[in-house]
């Protein structure tokens, strides 16, 4: 039987696990601003999308013989400019069909510029050196809110020869800085509001109540109330109405509260990352870990006759060595009630438990009902 105090004595001999990164989420003593943990309802971004054509590629565009949508887009664009291209044989590889996306910021005004992202749709190899032609960008209501055009900046590249290919990054996607111009504004009258709703980014009953209490303490009224774990409703006081909403929003953003959090363990099995909350606790539990390992090593040797011998021949003699490790030295370890998860992981590290086994042990403790926390698998 092996107690946690004995496990801790081995910590000075631990070199560390290179395959596992254990992060312990510890709450800072300093409180957080409401601005950092919540948003005002209605003050939000909007997603825009459009379909466009990129020209000027150096033979790295779509194969318009096999991609009908690229060919039809090129023909349609030329027809709008008075060029009849339907009777000809289009063979250009300098054109690519792309999807254009952008984010329309809150309170974006007509004529302001936004960044846009461009991604190839077909079999184009690279958008390097390409120019995006005028592309309308629509919102979820199918209304055009911006128009995009400009030279594409690509962070990656691709080069190939007869026997080798080199690719860095993603050459089939790029960005046009300030390439979109806002053509339509989203109507939102902020100063006429007599009620504000604050949405928490991580809904929690305790945090929602603390935010409402902090606002009431600042205003000296009972104007704010926690409506649900994710929403705090504020009835705007009379002195802040009629064009003074920005003042109260600015003041509320700077108020500080201590957000609460669930006891949670987050595990990324692909990379072996374990993130552990500070409030995680473990009831008394016994842990044993061991594996059966069989190692087979082949070390063949050469046997040959004596020098100047007239008989015999050189042959290969097999030599096989088999090692079996049944984990007999592993013992059942007892972790007492009240031990936090950081102490448990320190103890498992001291015993040389690998990251994959550590994840399995944490999941087994949860199944046994001894881990007082939620486990989230990414």
Q: d(Cα 99, Cα 137) in Å, to the nearest integer?
A: 10
Is 21 within 8 Å of 269 (Cβ atoms)?
no
Name which of 113, 179, 127 is nearest 155 in CA terms.
Answer: 127
Pairing of strands 264-268, 374-377: parallel
CATH code of the region 32-42+190-257: 3.30.1360
- Over residues 323-344, the pLDDT tens digits come to 655 555 555 455 555 566 667 6
- Over residues 250-299, the pLDDT tens digits come to 999 999 999 887 788 888 877 777 777 777 777 776 666 665 455 566 67
Confidence category of residue 361, pLDDT binned at 50, 70, 90: confident
Is 224 within 8 Å of 209 (Cβ atoms)?
no
Percent of the chain's residues with pLDDT above 90 = 33
Q: d(Cα 251, Cα 237) in Å, to the nearest integer?
A: 13
Name the range with the highest mean pLDDT among 165-169, 195-199, 263-267, 302-306.
Answer: 195-199
Q: What Å distances lie between residue 10 and 61, 84, 121, 352, CA to CA?
A: 61, 81, 57, 10
State the sign of the Cα–Cα–Cα–Cα dihedral 216, 219, 221, 223: negative
CA angle 249, 253, 255 (to 5 degrees): 120
Position 102 scores a pLDDT of 96
33-62 per-residue burial string, b: 16 or more CB within 10 A, e: under 16: ebeebbebeeeeeeebebebbbebbeebbb
Is 98 within 8 Å of 119 (Cβ atoms)?
yes
Whose tokens are 């079996």? That residue is 324
- Over residues 19-28, the pLDDT tens digits come to 344 444 444 4
Q: What are phi and psi of 217, to 5 degrees?
A: -65, -35
Question: How large is the average pLDDT for residues 194-207?
Answer: 91
Confidence category of residue 2, pLDDT binned at 50, 70, 90: very low
Q: Where are the domains of the chain?
A: 4-27+264-377, 32-42+190-257, 47-182
Question: How large is the average pLDDT for residues 4-25?
Answer: 38
- Over residues 57-113, the pLDDT tens digits come to 988 889 888 888 888 888 888 888 888 877 767 778 889 999 999 999 988 999 999
pTM: 0.65
Position 291 scores a pLDDT of 56
Instruction: Label residue 367 left, alpha or beta by phi (over 0 means left) and psi (-120 to 50 means alpha).
Output: alpha
Question: How large is the average pLDDT for residues 35-64?
Answer: 91
Is 133 within 8 Å of 53 (Cβ atoms)?
yes
Position 29 scores a pLDDT of 44
């Amino acid at each position: 039987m092996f107690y946690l105090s004995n496990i801790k004595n081995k910590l000075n001999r631990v070199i560390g696990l290179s395959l596992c990164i254990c992060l312990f989420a510890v709450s800072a003593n300093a409180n957080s601003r409401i601005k950092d943990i919540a948003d005002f309802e209605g003050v939000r971004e909007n997603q825009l999308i459009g379909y466009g054509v990129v020209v000027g590629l150096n033979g790295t565009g779509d194969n318009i013989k096999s991609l009908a949508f690229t060919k039809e887009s090129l023909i349609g664009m030329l027809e709008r400019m008075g060029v009849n291209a339907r009777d000809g044989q289009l063979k250009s590889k300098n054109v690519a069909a792309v999807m254009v996306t952008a984010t329309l910021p809150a309170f974006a005004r007509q004529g302001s510029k936004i960044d846009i992202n461009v991604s190839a749709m077909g079999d184009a190899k690279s958008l390097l050196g390409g120019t995006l032609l005028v592309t309308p960008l629509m919102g979820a209501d199918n209304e055009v809110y911006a128009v995009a055009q400009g030279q594409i900046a690509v962070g990656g590249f691709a080069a190939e020869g007869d026997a080798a290919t080199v690719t860095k990054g993603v050459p089939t996607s790029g960005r046009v800085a300030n390439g979109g111009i806002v053509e339509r504004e989203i109507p939102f009258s902020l100063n006429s509001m007599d009620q504000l709703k604050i949405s928490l980014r991580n809904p929690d009953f305790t945090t929602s109540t603390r935010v409402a209490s902090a606002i009431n303490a600042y205003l000296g009224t009972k104007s704010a109330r926690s409506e649900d774990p994710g929403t705090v409703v504020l009835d705007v006081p009379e002195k802040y109405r009629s064009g003074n909403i920005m003042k109260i929003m600015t003041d509320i953003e700077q108020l500080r509260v201590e957000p609460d959090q669930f006891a949670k363990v987050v595990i990324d099995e692909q990379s072996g990352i374990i993130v552990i909350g500070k409030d995680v606790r473990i009831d008394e539990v016994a842990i044993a870990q061991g594996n059966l390992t069989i190692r087979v090593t082949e070390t063949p040797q050469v046997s040959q006759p004596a020098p100047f011998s007239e008989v015999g021949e050189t042959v290969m003699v097999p030599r096989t060595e088999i090692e079996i490790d049944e984990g007999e030295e592993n013992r059942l370890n007892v972790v007492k009630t009240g031990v936090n998860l950081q102490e448990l992981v320190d103890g498992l590290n001291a015993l040389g438990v690998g990251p994959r086994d550590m994840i399995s042990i944490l999941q087994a403790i949860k199944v046994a009902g001894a881990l007082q926390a939620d486990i989230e698998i990414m």
